[in-house]
Amino acid sequence: MSLHSTEVGDAGARVVFLHGLFGQGRNFTQVAKALLPDFCSLLVDLPDHGRSGWTHRADYVAMADAVADHLRTGFARDAPVHVVGHSMGGKVAMVLALRHPDLVERLVVVDIAPGESAGASEFEHLLDSLGRLDLAAIRRRDDADTALADDVDDDRVRGFLLQNLRSEPGGGWRWQANLSMLRRDLPTIGGFPDVGEAVFDHPVLWMAGERSSYVTPEHAPAMRRLFPRTTQVTIKGAGHWVHSEQPEAFVGALRVFLGAGR
């Protein structure tokens, strides 16, 4: 599977960022720049997102293995790296650490847990809203924004979703994300795969947004069984998109946790 990634920085400890559903690696660009010059970051487009290849079905094990292959031949060729994953990317990061612990030094899981996720109806609504857009009727990006406004009234969320819209060289528009497959396999994306008896015995930072429902006390036993060296923190004032809603607190927490391993 072909994965696209971008490096930010050329010195310091190495950190890999894995985005959530609808996202792209570049969503972490400002975070990566804020970590300079102490950290060098790799911003990965996960399968079926951004400029990475499409697949036929959602599969966390396949996604994690694809990321592992990508890291082994490049960014983590010489030594293990830190991995930060948000939402869907957090689940990929957890499976990556459990299946390929030699690649991961420290793990940061952002506002997600190893189990069934809240918010399925919200993501169903968003995917259905994007699927209803008549791309043939769109002349400018503003047309798409206007057409989507009735279904998605939050300007920030709408802007985030429309990052997936790309103009074609010969005219017209297309979605970068594999929307039809993601909608069909949303139950799989909302779940978590069976990882058997695997345990990741390295330091883990489990970060939750204060206003989010994606991490609850009921998730703690499963998290600590798989990741016994977990430290949990809550970012005040943040919802699910912790890194964009409270970027300074997010970067500060990363610096403290990742810097402790140096």
**Can the peptide bond before residue 203 be classed as cis, meaning omega within 30 degrees of 0?**
no
Question: pTM score, two decimals?
Answer: 0.95
Task: Look at strands 165-167 and 173-175 and give their pairing.
Answer: antiparallel
Q: What is the architecture of the domain spanning 4-117+192-259?
A: 3-Layer(aba) Sandwich (3.40)
pLDDT at 119: 67
| Rounded Cα distance, 211 and 218, in Å | 16
pLDDT at 246: 96
The angle formed by the CA atoms of residues 65, 67 and 73, to the nearest 5 degrees, is: 105
Give the residue extent of every domain in the chain. 4-117+192-259, 120-184
- From the CA atom positions of the chain, what is the Rg in Å? 18
Kindly give the confidence (pLDDT) of every residue in the chain, 262 residues in length, as a single tens digit, with 9 standing for 90 and above. Answer: 789 999 999 999 999 999 999 999 999 999 999 999 999 999 999 999 999 999 999 999 999 999 999 999 999 999 999 999 999 999 999 999 999 999 999 999 999 999 998 767 788 999 999 999 999 999 999 999 999 999 999 898 899 999 999 998 888 899 999 999 999 999 999 999 999 999 999 999 999 999 999 999 999 999 999 999 999 999 999 999 999 999 999 999 999 999 976 6
Give me the sheet containing 230-235, strands edge to edge: 4-8, 39-45, 13-18, 81-86, 104-110, 204-209, 230-235
